[in-house]
Chain A
Amino acid sequence: MNEKIESRKPPVATTGIIGWLRINLFFNWTNSLITIFVIYCLYQFVPWILDWTVFSADFKYNYLGQQITNQEMCSRNLDPKNGGACWAVIYVRFYQFIYGFYPREEVWRVNISYVMLAIALLPLLITKLPYRKIFLNFTYIFPIIAYFLLNGGFGLPDISTNKWGGLLVTLVLGCTGIALAFPIGVLLALGRRSNLPVISMMCVLFIEFIRGVPLITLLFFGMVMLPLFLPEGIDMDGLVRVLVAVTLFQSAYMAEVIRGGLQAIPTGQYEAARSLGMSYWRMNFQIILPQAIRISIPPIVNTSIGLFKDTTLVIIVGLLDLLGIGRGTLADTNWLGLSYEIYFFVSLVFFIFTFGMSRYSLYLEKKLKTGINMGAD
């Protein structure tokens, strides 16, 4: 009697939603307790935050249907029974948050720059992009186009950087800092490991000095002392001076991150490259650096995110970035007291950018399989 036994379904408790819940949320009693606690917290918090940010909030009109032009017209200030956020301040000030004090009739230049930035990032984000080579060339020349477009030249009227502000300043500082610091950092890292004593000493000095002082100090140095050292008549732009300080700071950190990656490369890789007769530069650029940078992706993105957020420090030297515009808005007698709305909005914008960067890093890690053992040990 060889009766065929039908394959049975797995126990209900181990598959489907119930199984997933059991394994992930209620595996044992501590697990269950934590799950219940977290659900309770979410239950308390989520409806409240949704209510505050969306359901009871004013966007453009208050509950009487009037268009809001100052904080006194916010529903929650007209009648304390209405508890929601007053997003009208963001609506009214949106232009300033995004463009600063850039003249309205010239704002198309900023818009084009934003669009071009997105196009320039495309080939970096999508490796299978058709015509990627052409797009990459555009990425390389984009900073030059953007500089003339934003600043003026070739028949476009000059817009002093003093008029730039908000997200524009944040992005200019963040993107330039990150983009310039990377190549400088690579050179510094190589220099620090170089066998030539003068070069390695200079790189060590530079890195240790810059890394040893806070960014604020460098910003002050750029803003206040640099003009005193420049010959008379040369008026270096305030934004440029801050950019120099930010780039120096970031490149020192980047150098150390990449040096970490370099140290993880086994000596065998160097020896193999040399035994093939490769020159120093060829060895580094074709064998060593591709591997070193690959394993340094998480810390590279980490310091880049750090820099992006550190750009808010420029308010100390009097540049109004996204956060600075927010604070300026809070100082307008029309919008006094709306700090929750403004700080919420500013953090949301920062979160979108930094979260995007961290997702990009994860995608790169997956694509390049940085986790694997690289062998040769």
Chain B
Amino acid sequence: MTVAAEGSPPLRMAGSRRSPLLQSEAVQGLALISPTFVYALILLVLPILVVIAHSFWTQNYLTIDHTFTLENYRIALTEPIYRDLLWRSLYISLTVSLLTVALAYPIAYFISFHGGRHKSLWLFLITIPFWTSYLLRVMSWKVILGYNGVLNSGLMGLGIIDEPSTALLYNSSAVIITLTHAWATFAILPIFVSLEKVDRTLVEAATDLGDGPLRSFLRVTLPLSAPGIISAALIVMIPTVGDYVTPKLVGGKDGVMIANAIQAQFGKASNWPLGAALSVTTMIIVSLMAGATVLVIRALQRLAR
């Protein structure tokens, strides 16, 4: 080994000269991400391109007419039924994100500021609901909100209502309640992380400069945790717009969302191009809404001074 190594310096020099490309950090980095990148390309970018392409085509029963048309988008944007569904989806997802962030924040705050030695235990407890499947969790909301459900029998037992309320299940409120519960953890974690990063001395400095607990929270802790609020809001908002299991199970006919319509177009209605156009429209609108949310939260953050 040693002899071979001693005998081969010219060769090794040639080798190192041959591969400056592999020495470059950029190339090494690309090599490192390439498996994931290829995977994402095949499973994410390609399907999206296929969907976008379909949205400009027309379907005649079983054949796809590949002539370019904007007809699908005209239907998606002007047909009242799709407009209403889109609006409702946006309304539900916005409400869910607001509620989730509002409910998750105090929990994240408590764990971060008062969790003491048990922070990881608290975080662990929060993930426990994820041990059951999402479907089961949605179904259990059905049990809680249903006609003979826990809530109705409880209220009747207390004599607050005389007959079971039908206002609890099969409407958009039921969807909102269920989604808010389902996404809570995803909101708690990013907010917790951003609160952990808030230097506690800054809160002390605010106190030292005369702020009581509420004011120092509003002027220092809250604005500094804005990145966490933004990611929590986006993490909840973007997937909930397109959720279709929850509205299907607890939404009834008043809780139908855009994803249910898209599913119908790809399924029973067998109109892939319209489904694709609805998907693309939803994607664009969600991106705009997400962008707007970021801007609004940043503007609010700047108000604190």
Does B associate with A? Answer: no
